[in-house]
Structure 1
Amino acid sequence: MVLETLAGMEQPAALPAVAERLGAPVSQTYRVLRALQEEGFVDHVGRRGYRVGTRAIGLGALLGPWPELRALTYPVLVRLAGGTSLSARLHVRSGYDRVLLLAAVPPHDHDPSWRTRIGERSPLTRGCSGRAILAHLPESEIEAVLGARAGEEDGTLRTELRRIRGDGFAFSSAANHAGRRGISVPLTSASEVMGALSLSGPQAAVDEDGLRRLAGTVRAAADDIAGPLSAMLGPDATRRRYALDVLPPEHPRLDR
């Protein structure tokens, strides 16, 4: 009930406002929000209050992404995948992890050894999408993630994160999925990193130089997605979720 109420409010929403909307005591509302925050279903953004967390969005993706978000972002993924013949994937950050929200896979890339699992969670320390997000976080958050994932960190990770921040994109090869190679760029709004957009394909079909030449294409697609995603996840409280309530267009298909 608390999460549903928060989702229907302008976000971030202050604790007293959430309690008033619920008709519940502030102390009780706080305890529930704190429990949801610890599990990643709610984000606390300081004095501005609370907003729906990316883990809740990832869970929603398992049942079907939000129609208005899908209507505005999925066609971008389809165009990106169709124009490059590589798989396009949209991840959102969830605490120390990232969650796969949407994907567009060309017909020829249905590798039986690799599956696109909507809602899949992976650490920020692994793979090009995770590291593209991690490298662009504030230094204090990077340290928190690395501290929590200390067992997974290799000696070159900090150096790689600095390189990714300088380049604006990250590469990976067989990091999360055997036989796959990919490139990813962060999705940002103002100073906040919301997620990452990636392209990937079989290692035998695409090399790092080929992916590097596509960095600008992925960046342009990420810029197209950042606005709609920011309206749901970003820090600007003046952008209401109902601004995205549109009739979903006919989604282009990759096999046409």
Structure 2
Amino acid sequence: MRIAAESEGPFTLTSITERTGLSPATVHRLLDLLGREGLVERDAVRRSYRVGGELFRLSALVFNRVPFRDIAGPLLREAADAFDETCYFAMYLPSEGRLMFAEKADSSRELSYRFELNRPLSLVWGSSGRAILAYLPERRAREILEAEREGNHEGRRPPSWAVLKRELASIRERGYAHSRGQRVAHAIGVIAPVFNHNNEIYGSLGFTIPEQRFAALDLEQVAQVAVRQADRLSRALGAARGAAVPST
């Protein structure tokens, strides 16, 4: 069923056999069972299969009946508990070219950061925004930068496109964004991208950690947790494995 759901078009018995390592007879039997339930449909002329209407119906039922908080909440909580540091999910707002923090799992520590939820914020400042910018089409990312009129909390002006473009390429290469004090003074951000069922950027997930505590942590370990949880959330939203590559 996973192969059927992730296929971009019709698929064949041979292609499934090659991907799974199962025998043709076993694959044929499984496809026959799925076909009887309406989960896949067979095209006798082309000798191929496609996703069936019943799979679409079941997917829609699950997606519409399970609140996003119920999907993201446990993943954020698990990440936050790994280091006892605040973990946020920031949602991309395409029409505004901004983000908003939509869900969070707080640290139990007295000193931690509390961002206001559901408030539109700049994509240009902070790793939560740049993890999103890195996976937008280049033209759109540049438009967002050029429209940016806000300095950060230190009064710094936005970077040039040449500087930002290099950083966004580095984010894609690493798979996460890392910033220091861009959105909030003395805060370290380690944030990974989250994708939707179309493999388009949907938001970002990761940590905001006070600088003095971050010194005792290993960046790669923190990033590994952020990337893992972001990938799990992406998969729950229907994204295929692996980060999407933005078009130019």
Task: For residues 85-136 of structure 1, give each alpha carbon's deviation from its aligned partner in whole angstroms, at most 9, with x where no partner exists.
Answer: 211000010131111000111111544xx42311132211110010000011
Aligned-partner Cα distance in 1 for 2:138–2:214: 33
Aligned sequence identity (%): 25
Task: Give 3-state SS (helix, strand or coil) of 1:103's partner.
Answer: strand
Task: Give 3-state SS (helix, strand or coil) of 2:204's partner.
Answer: strand
In the alignment, which of 218, 225, 244 is matched to residue 210 of structure 1? 218
Which residue of structure 2 lines up, in the alignment, with residue 91 of structure 1? 90
Which residue of structure 2 lines up, in the alignment, with residue 140 of structure 1? 139
Task: Give 3-state SS (helix, strand or coil) of 1:123's partner.
Answer: coil
Which amino acid is 2:174 matched to? D
Aligned-partner Cα distance in 1 for 2:231–2:149: 32
1:69/1:229 contact within 8 Å kept: no
User: Of Structure 1 and Structure 2, which has the larger fraction of its residues in helix?
Assistant: 1
**Bigger CA radius of gyration:** 2
In the alignment, which of 162, 178, 202 is matched to residue 194 of structure 1? 202
Which residue of structure 1 lines up, in the alignment, with residue 115 of structure 2? 116
In the alignment, which of 185, 188, 203 is matched to residue 181 of structure 1? 188
- Counterparts in 2 of 1:128 and 1:82: CA distance versus 1, 3 Å: same
Which residue of structure 1 lines up, in the alignment, with residue 158 of structure 2? 153
Task: For residues 32-53 of structure 1, give each alpha carbon's deviation from its aligned partner in whole angstroms, at most 9, with x where no partner exists.
Answer: xxxxxxxxxxxxxxxxxxxxxx
Aligned-partner Cα distance in 1 for 2:166–2:158: 11
Task: Give 3-state SS (helix, strand or coil) of 2:170's partner.
Answer: helix
1:158 CA drift (Å) = 2.1
Which residue of structure 1 lines up, in the alignment, with residue 102 of structure 2? 101
- Counterparts in 2 of 1:120 and 1:110: CA distance versus 1, 3 Å: farther
2:176/2:223 contact within 8 Å kept: yes
Which residue of structure 2 lines up, in the alignment, with residue 25 of structure 1? none
Aligned-partner Cα distance in 2 for 1:178–1:80: 23
- The reply on whether 1:171 has 2:178 as its aligned counterpart is yes
- Counterparts in 2 of 1:229 and 1:164: CA distance versus 1, 3 Å: same
2:86/2:106 contact within 8 Å kept: yes
1:142 CA drift (Å) = 1.4
Aligned-partner Cα distance in 2 for 1:90–1:201: 14
In the alignment, which of 226, 236, 240 is matched to residue 234 of structure 2? 226
Query: More relative contact order in 1 or in 2 (CA 8 Å, sep 6+)?
Result: 1
The two structures, once aligned, show a CA RMSD in angstroms of 2.3
- Counterparts in 2 of 1:110 and 1:205: CA distance versus 1, 3 Å: closer
1:207 CA drift (Å) = 3.8
Aligned-partner Cα distance in 1 for 2:187–2:232: 25
Q: Could you state the TM-score of these two structures normalised by the residue count of structure 1?
A: 0.58
Structure 1 residue runs without a partner (length 5+): 1-65, 232-256
Aligned-partner Cα distance in 2 for 1:132–1:109: 27
Which amino acid is 1:93 matched to? Y
1:129/1:170 contact within 8 Å kept: yes
Which amino acid is 1:124 matched to? L
Q: Could you state the TM-score of these two structures normalised by the residue count of structure 2?
A: 0.60
Which residue of structure 2 lines up, in the alignment, with residue 78 of structure 1? 77
Aligned-partner Cα distance in 1 for 2:140–2:217: 31
Aligned-partner Cα distance in 1 for 2:91–2:178: 18
1:125/1:149 contact within 8 Å kept: yes
Aligned-partner Cα distance in 2 for 1:109–1:131: 28
Which amino acid is 1:145 matched to? I
Aligned-partner Cα distance in 2 for 1:230–1:160: 28
2:195/2:237 contact within 8 Å kept: no
1:213 CA drift (Å) = 2.5
